[in-house]
Chains A and B, each alone.
Chain A
Amino acid sequence: MSVLVVVECDGGEVKKSSLEVASYGSQVAQMLGTTATAVAVGEATEANLAQLGEQGISKVLYDAEPRLKDFVNGAYTKLIAAAAEKEGAQVIVLANSNIGAAVGSRLSVRLKASLATNVVELPKNEGGSFTVKRGAFSGKAFADVVLTGDRKILAVKKNSIEALHEAGKTATVESFSASLSDADFADAPKQVVMQDQAGGVLLPEADRVVSGGRGMKGPENWHLIEDLAKALGAATACSKPVSDVDWRPHHEHVGQTGITVSPNLYIACGISGAIQHLAGVNSSKVIVVINKDPEAPFFKAADYGIVGDVFEILPKLTQAVKELN
């Protein structure tokens, strides 16, 4: 019995969401009286993997096979399944990311495990029943899910768990091979295209997001959003109408049918707050709404609000952030 944590790496670094996943996994291990082992995927460095000790991980398994640098569903699934068998893992924890969902769903069938995605809290293991809280109804509700299988797979929603940082603790890094063959790489990507991120902050991983809607009146005004985002170290986003008319690219669209984000701070500029937009942002910790219409429904979901003209307010905010820094 042990806990296996899947850690996603990119450009040598462990992703922030995976630090949360590692912290979640080590706390589950403690609860079950066992240890947490990580299996790393993507491009990692040994030093960064050893640092996962700070999140309570005791051992990291890493296959340095170069073809594993990019996501390959078949190969990743086989690698993680092999690590789970080697460690006798009863609980597997991964990020509720596009990689985590793709691998977790296949793994659950292969390992005959119960799967819960979109998990927002540590599990309860009481009276022989293993229960986790997950988000449902597009952020409008939560569900306590009972995982009835002997094996459990949990995909943890970003920014729901505080990452642990126990300075000085290190994990041992072990090389690990799942004897992958060419067939396991049959669905490898032919090409990977990364977007230019404004200010270099990736929207799905961002702690802070500045988002614009139709109230911004046109793409030529987006520098106001970008300036504030840059000052705050935030990612930029937009509402559906904005991406529908191509003012901004689709990958910036947050909402029911776009990306779901849960940053610490979400600043909505000129967005009225249709229920479909709220579905993508309502698990943000703090929501700020700037809108000239005091009746905009978004104010009901906001923590802070300013009723006024975004074109006047945004430069003032950017200036205030610069002064503060």
Chain B
Amino acid sequence: MKFLVCISNVPDTTTKITFTPDNKEFNKAGVQFVINPWDEYALTRAIELKEAQGSGTVTVLNVGEADTEPNIRKALAIGADDAIRVNAAPKDAYFVAEQIAAIAKEGAYDVILMGKESIDYNGFQVHGMVGELLGIPTVAPAMKLDMSGNTATLEREIEGGKEIVEVNTPFVASCQQPMCEPRIPNMRGIMTARTKPLKVVEPTGEGARTSVAEYALPPKKQGVKLIPAESAGELIKLLRNEAKVI
């Protein structure tokens, strides 16, 4: 079975977010980039399923410029077999979805996995767009994924519960916890990752349908109003009379 795992290169979760002086772009200076945490669930689960099946391949796909390659190598070190990088900055969700759909079609992948959303743009859009472009089902967000032959059983999170869904390959799933315990690379993985194939291809498709005019930081908080522990009940009065939230 052929797994395609899409990963996104995002600022580390502890990054202080700043923008370029014109507020048109994220300021990358001094920022550590990581594999999008949600995508790690997709990657590890694909590797686990391949191992359980005893055959198959896991290909990792990233839409990004050359500076994303360290994290692609990291995905190979975790256990993916090969990688494809679409050589373009990800302009918007539709642009990225077009790249993924083109590669998924050309490579006839059976299972296309990705994280629920990226922690930088938080679109939660790409999964459905890829499914629609390919005319195959999407299950999002998936908390559990098991395969039996060509049939997958997934748990899909809904507000206040879950649905059990069965789909046949090919399908798209966007993954979140508690799907698996994301793996970290071991020394052997890091050594072998250096020689695993990483193919670079040029982008295709119609292009983006949205653009960012400007970024802004949220307004600063006024500062915390502290209530002495002895008179904790005062807090409730403030919440009713001052904040008016209860």
Binding site for B on A (CB under 8 A): 70-71, 73-74, 77, 96-99, 101-106, 108-110, 113-118, 129, 131, 135-149, 186-195, 197, 202-205, 208, 232, 250-251, 253, 256-258, 264-265, 275-276, 279, 282, 285-286, 288-289, 299-309, 312-313, 316-317, 319-321, 323-324
- A305-B227, A306-B226 known; A144 and B125 CB under 8 Å? no
- A105-B128, A117-B123, A189-B165 known; A144 and B212 CB under 8 Å? yes
Q: Does B137 contact A (CB under 8 A)?
A: yes
**Interface contact B245-A285, CB-CB below 8 Å:** yes
Q: Does B222 contact A (CB under 8 A)?
A: yes
**Interface contact A106-B138, CB-CB below 8 Å:** yes
Give CA–CA (A136, B10) in the complex, Å: 12
Within 8 A of A (CB), among B140-156: 140-141, 143, 156
8 Å CB contact of A308 from B208, B232, B238: B232
**Interface contact A304-B246, CB-CB below 8 Å:** no
Give CA–CA (A74, B131) in the complex, Å: 10
**Interface contact A288-B239, CB-CB below 8 Å:** yes
Q: Does B200 contact A (CB under 8 A)?
A: no
> With a CB–CB cut-off of 8 A, which chain B residues contact A73?
128, 137-139
Chain B positions 83 through 119: 1 when the CB is less than 8 Å from some CB of chain A, otherwise 0 = 0000000000110010000000000000000000001
Residue of B nearest to A257 (CB): B37
**Interface contact A101-B209, CB-CB below 8 Å:** no
Can you pick out 17 interface pairs between chain A and chain B where the beta carbons lie within 8 Å of each other?
A73-B137, A73-B138, A102-B140, A114-B210, A141-B216, A141-B218, A142-B216, A143-B214, A143-B215, A144-B213, A189-B165, A192-B162, A253-B177, A282-B218, A304-B235, A306-B227, A324-B246
**Interface contact A317-B236, CB-CB below 8 Å:** yes
- A140-B218, A145-B211, A279-B119 known; A317 and B156 CB under 8 Å? no
**Interface contact A321-B246, CB-CB below 8 Å:** yes
**Interface contact B245-A265, CB-CB below 8 Å:** yes
> With a CB–CB cut-off of 8 A, which chain A residues contact B80?
none
**Interface contact A136-B224, CB-CB below 8 Å:** no
8 Å CB contact of B132 from A105, A144, A288: A105
The size bracket of the interface on B is: 35 or more
> With a CB–CB cut-off of 8 A, which chain A residues contact B30?
none
**Interface contact B125-A108, CB-CB below 8 Å:** yes
- A102-B138, A304-B224, A304-B243 known; A190 and B165 CB under 8 Å? yes
**Interface contact B125-A192, CB-CB below 8 Å:** no
Chain B positions 145 through 177: 1 when the CB is less than 8 Å from some CB of chain A, otherwise 0 = 000000000001111111111110000000011
Binding site for A on B (CB under 8 A): 11, 13-14, 17, 19, 26, 37-38, 93-94, 97, 119-129, 131-133, 137-141, 143, 156-167, 176-178, 208-218, 221-222, 224-229, 232-233, 235-240, 243, 245-246
Residue of B nearest to A299 (CB): B224
Majority secondary structure, B binding face: mixed
Give CA–CA (A110, B133) in the complex, Å: 8
**Interface contact B178-A146, CB-CB below 8 Å:** no
**Interface contact A106-B210, CB-CB below 8 Å:** no
> With a CB–CB cut-off of 8 A, which chain A residues contact B26?
137
> With a CB–CB cut-off of 8 A, which chain A residues contact B233?
316-317, 319-320, 323
**Interface contact A137-B210, CB-CB below 8 Å:** no
**Interface contact A140-B161, CB-CB below 8 Å:** no
> With a CB–CB cut-off of 8 A, which chain B residues contact A113?
209
> With a CB–CB cut-off of 8 A, which chain B residues contact A256?
13, 37, 119
> With a CB–CB cut-off of 8 A, which chain B residues contact A118?
122-124
Give CA–CA (A320, B26) in the complex, Å: 45
7 tightest A-B contacts by CB? A105-B128, A308-B229, A320-B233, A189-B163, A109-B132, A194-B161, A320-B236
> With a CB–CB cut-off of 8 A, which chain B residues contact A115?
93-94, 125, 209-210
> With a CB–CB cut-off of 8 A, which chain A residues contact B93?
105, 115
**Interface contact B216-A197, CB-CB below 8 Å:** no
- A141-B17, A316-B232 known; A289 and B224 CB under 8 Å? yes
Give CA–CA (A118, B38) in the complex, Å: 18
Give CA–CA (A118, B122) in the complex, Å: 8
Q: How near does chain B come to A252, taking the closest CB pair, in angstroms?
A: 11
Give CA–CA (A103, B124) in the complex, Å: 11
**Interface contact A321-B122, CB-CB below 8 Å:** no
> With a CB–CB cut-off of 8 A, which chain B residues contact A189?
156, 163-165
Give CA–CA (A319, B225) in the complex, Å: 21
Give CA–CA (A95, B33) in the complex, Å: 31
**Interface contact B243-A303, CB-CB below 8 Å:** yes
Q: How near does chain B come to A5, taking the closest CB pair, in angstroms?
A: 18
> With a CB–CB cut-off of 8 A, which chain B residues contact A74?
137
